[in-house]
Structure 1
Amino acid sequence: MQVSVETIGTLGRRLKVAVPADQVEKEFNARLQRLSKQVKIPGFRPGKVPLKMVEAQYGGRLIDEVAGELVQTTLYEAIGSQGLRPAGDPKLQRKPFVRGEQLEYTVEFEIFPEVKRLDLTGVRIERPVVTVGEDDVSRTLETIRKQRADWKPVERAANLGDRLTIDFVGRIDGKDFDGGKANVFQVVLGSGTLLEDMEQGLVGAKMSDTRHISVKFPSDYRHSPLAGKTADFDVKISAVTEAVLPELNEALARDLGVKDSSIDTLRSDVKSNLEREANGRSRAIVRARALKSLLDANPVEVPRSLLDAEIQRLKTSDVSNGLNAGDETAYEKRARSRVALGLILSEFIRNRGLVPDPARVRARLEEMAADYESPQEFIQWHYEKPERLSEIEGLVMEEKVVEDLLVSAQISEKPVSFQELLKIETLVQ
């Protein structure tokens, strides 16, 4: 077999493969012999049909089958002989085959990029450290009270923090637009549920008022057809209510599941929960910083086939979650980062020979299951199908990669407040 390689761009490769005619003929004759023992032709006993007659009747089909199978069996042998690792499915072009000549075909594909840096030697990573204080506990308890508020109708003008029930219809250049109309819609002023122009335009409104409000959509608005445009809304206010918060007392503690109904126990429980949240978020931030550093250290080119597949996956995910498809450039940026990081992590895992630790996978599942009413059912559900378990194995493998990376990095600790911690990005950008 003859193999030649041509480089197309950075990652593209074109292989030209030629399978010798005698190899094709040998395979054809072997298939012909097997078929002659199976075919039934009137006037001949089974297995006694002359080869010439079998070839005359079935030769065209046989040679096509042989050529197709030889392509399949020699393709990856040819790729392997050149030390190449295809990313995505190869695109095959086969020349028309003529009996007695060599079988020739061409295949094009992209290869995985070279990853040169698999450690974080010399990289400094800050780990945020939080000491949860009584102010954090009080702030959280205030949030809990707001979440359990009763809403009392008022006749006064609406202030920030009040909840309004409204009907509205919006128009751009005098025309209705998708998502610009709603009835019996409830909004707490200052919550950020609606755009700031709309919420500010409702401050001071009373029940039964009608308001005309102009709203400017941000240039980066998630629904791109509205980005940067101005809409005129007619709003009818049908109710204005104010929040009546429950008292911070034993009754509230009991409703929140505190066994002894003690305020001190409630505050202690809240503090413990905040500390767990802070520790988890701190780990997530360090993880994101470690992976971002690894990504920055390896500016790899991404195979187009993998990039296109990830863009489509992101779009499908957004649509299934009720989101409108965003800007194509934004999708490509997200996809490029995700694919590049995935390739780098795969190479790290391959290079280190890492495999999922079953005990660690089980422990991770048990940790996740603790948040469910039936933990054992949650665990069993994942073990029932390999594809479900593979998601957890992927999480465990990523945790292991980050642990190994951090061994080579320089870690420093930085005290931050709990509120500051919540503002730090935990995703790889």
Structure 2
Amino acid sequence: MATAVETLGKLERRITISFPLTEVRAEVEKRLKVQAKTAKAPGFRPGKVPLKMVAAQYGYQIETEVLNDKVGRAFNDAANAAELRVAGYPRIEPKEESPAGVLTFDATFEIYPEVVVGDLSTVEIETVKADVSETEIDKTIEILRKQRVHFHTKGEAGEHGDGGEAVAANGDRVTVDFVGSIDGVEFPGGKAEDYAFVLGEGRMLPEFEAATVGLKVGEAKTFPLAFPEDYHGKDVAGKTASFTITLKKLEWAHLPEVDAEFAKSLGVADGDVAKMREDIKVNLEREVAGRVKARNKEAVMDALVKTATLDVPQALIAQDTERLAEMTRQDMAQRGMNVKDIPFPPELFAEKAERRVRLGLILSQLVGENKLQAQPEQVKAQVEDFAQSYEDPREVLKYYYSDRRRLAEVEALVLEENVVNYVLGLSKTSSKVVAFDELMGSNAQA
């Protein structure tokens, strides 16, 4: 039996559930008899264990299962009868004061809120767009050249030249021995042999690189180095050390020419440089389109959060907070970090979780009201678009359509895009051109 629904707050409700103790005992006894048919105990054949021994071994577990089943079923029946959409899970607590022979529980829970989306025709949204020019293609080619750099001994003649005077300069790769001391005492981590790095990449502290520039092979230099206060090595942070560095090897960087061989290294079979540039442009345009779509989606989501009115169930925020914490833990573990004993305070994720839940409720409302569900042809088109950047598109199609969960992820993306297009079609939009570098440096995510 369940009482009428009590209203405790805007979204919080309570239902009191009760049933005779005799019902619980009868069901427990029934399940114990079933368990006894297969129960095992020393000195007894299977199925011949006395019921008292079965009760002693399994009684608590079975009683808990019976209570959970009866309370859960009674709660669901009461919530359905009252036509309530329960958000999250109810908090079940036994009532201390119950009539004799009766078990009574309070089920406290939240319901889904009413979502009111404002007048979208009055909403102003600024979208962005960006172009891929020859300059961006040239920059990308330079990056690709640097990724394929070759180093040659500086000062020695070779098929690519000698690299100029054999003196260390920015862009050169140097191999050094060094030793550092503070107040005349060497410190851990302050000594190395045959240590290689490229000057100008910022891997070493500025004083270290500055001291290396201008050296010739075999030369040494002693110089002071002041460690920053926030240096990762706490033992030396904020202190000044004396370093002696010896240059053992000096190499200059040779970047490959932009020619047929370079084009072939990028997958252009016939080495056509013009085709290589066109391929790079297509890839950049695909990347730009994705970034633009993400930025514009973020603008729409921001507008919806500001426009819609709703109360967000705390139970759903708590669930999403746990989900985000677990995702973070798994991501860190995959990166090789030991996160077993690292605490993840809920407040780290609460704000993001609240926004995600709020947006989820708003999107659900818009989708239901305006029939914006992802259609099969839209999902297929999205998967085919993903497949374009892979060598074997058919394998990509198989990857998604062989797993319902993967396909559901694509459906969610399409659904969001439907909402974005719907909102942009109703709102007052303006557009601005953003620089390529600015766009590519952004990480817009809804």
TM-score by length of 2: 0.69
Q: 1:128 to 1:104 in 2, by over 3 A?
A: same
322, 335, 349: which one pairs with 2:364? 349
* Residue 315, structure 1, aligned to residue 329, structure 2: yes
The alpha-carbon distance between structure 1 residues 110 and 307, as it changes in their structure 2 partners (threshold 3 A), is: farther
2: CA distance, partners of 1:245 / 1:37: 78
Q: 1:339 to 1:145 in 2, by over 3 A?
A: same
Match of 1:387 among 390, 405, 414: 405
2:416 counterpart of 1:398: yes
The equivalent of 1:149 in structure 2 is: 149
Q: In structure 2, give the amino acid aligned to 1:85.
A: V
1:189/1:269 Cα in 2 relative to 1: closer, same or farther (>3 Å)? Answer: same
Q: Which residue identity is paired with 1:423? A: G
Range moving further from structure 2, 180-189 or 136-145: 180-189
1:216 to 193, 215, 228: 228
Aligned to 2:301: 291
Q: Assess, with a 3 A threshold, how the Cα gap between structure 1 residues 79 and 237 changes in structure 2: closer, same or farther.
A: farther
Distance 2:283 2:13 in 1: 57
Query: Is residue 253 of structure 1 aligned with residue 263 of structure 2?
Result: yes
Evaluate the alpha carbon distance shift between residue 36 and residue 333 of structure 1 in structure 2; reply closer, same or farther with a 3 A threshold: closer
The answer to whether structure 1 residue 162 and structure 2 residue 172 are counterparts is yes
State the Cα deviation string for residues 196-233 of structure 1 (Å, max 9, x = none): 77766765566565776444376xx9x9x97xx65878
- Percent of aligned positions that are identical: 28
Partner of 1:86: 87
* Distance in 2 between residues matched to 1:16 and 1:28, nearest whole Å: 23
Q: How far did residue 280 of structure 1 move?
A: 2.7
> 1:83 is matched by which residue type in structure 2?
L
How do residues 37-56 of structure 1 correspond to structure 2 at under 5 angstroms?
A: none
Q: Is contact 1:171-1:231 (8 Å) kept?
A: no
For the residues of structure 1 that align with 2:420 and 2:67, how far apart are their CA atoms?
A: 47
CA contact (8 A) 2:320 2:353 kept: no
Matching of residues 231-242 of structure 1 within 5 Å: 239-242=249-252
Question: Once superposed, what is the RMSD of the aligned Cα atoms?
Answer: 4.8
Of 372, 375, 384 in structure 1, the residue corresponding to residue 390 of structure 2 is: 372
Where do 1:330-341 residues align within 5 Å? 332=347, 336-341=351-356
Give the TM-score normalised by the residue count of structure 1: 0.71
Q: CA deviation at 1:396?
A: 2.4
1:18 corresponds to which residue?
17
CA distance in 2, matches of 1:317, 1:240: 39
**1:2 matched residue in structure 2:** 3
Give secondary structure in 2 for the equivalent of 1:2.
coil
Q: How far apart, in 2, do the equivalents of 1:30 and 1:329 lie?
A: 42
With over 3 angstroms needed to count, the CA separation of the structure-2 counterparts of 1:392 and 1:186, relative to structure 1, is farther
User: What amino acid maps onto 1:404 in structure 2?
Assistant: Y
Q: Residues 249 and 63 from structure 1, CA distance in 2 versus in 1: closer, same or farther, beyond 3 angstroms?
A: closer
Alpha-carbon distance, 1:149 to partner:
1.6
Aligned to 1:49: none
Q: How does 1:55-70 map to 2 (within 5 A)?
A: 67-70=67-70
Structure 1, residues 290-317: CA drift from partner, whole Å, max 9, x if none? 2233334459655334324423422332
* 1:231/1:338 CA distance change after superposition, 3 Å: farther
Please give the per-residue CA displacement for 1:323-369, whole angstroms capped at 9, x wherever unaligned.
Answer: 687x9899845552255224422442255235432332232223223
Match of 2:284 among 254, 274, 289: 274
Conservation of the 8 A alpha-carbon contact between 1:132 and 1:275: yes
Aligned to 2:434: 416
2: CA distance between counterparts of 1:282 and 1:260? 33
Cα distance change, pair 84–267 in 1 and its aligned pair in 2 (3 A): closer
Query: For 2:345 and 2:209, how far apart are their aligned partners in 1?
Result: 28
Moved more, 147-156 or 159-168: 159-168
> Could you say which residue in structure 2 is the equivalent of 1:104?
104
Paired position in structure 2 for 1:46: none
Change (3 A) 1:116 1:350: closer
CA separation in 2, counterparts of 1:331 and 1:183? 46
Cα gap change, 1:398 to 1:75, in 2 (>3 Å): same
SS in 1 for 2:106: strand
- Partner SS for 1:18: strand
Unaligned runs of 5+ in 1: 41-53
The C-alpha deviation readout for 1:100-123, integer Å capped at 9, x for no partner, is 633311234455566443775433
- Deviation at 1:243? 1.4
d(CA) in 2 for partners of 1:37 and 1:146? 72
The Cα of 1:73 is off from its aligned counterpart by 0.6
CA deviations 1:238-264 (Å, max 9, x no partner) are: 544321112223332343333553433
Give the 3 Å change call, closer, same or farther, for CA 175–182 of structure 1 in structure 2.
closer
Counterparts of 2:440 and 2:356 in 1: how far apart (Å)? 24
Q: Which runs of 5+ in 2 are unaligned?
A: 38-50, 156-165
Task: Name the CA shift for 1:78/1:135 in 2 (closer, same or farther; >3 Å).
Answer: same
CA 1:201/1:126 → structure 2, altered by over 3 Å: closer, same or farther? farther
Which one-letter code corresponds to 1:163 in the other structure? R
Q: 1:108 to 1:151 in 2, by over 3 A?
A: farther
Given residue 149 of structure 1, which amino acid in structure 2 is its aligned partner?
V
Task: Give the Cα separation in 2 of the matches to 1:204 and 1:288.
Answer: 50
How far apart, in 1, do the equivalents of 2:145 and 2:253 lie? 10
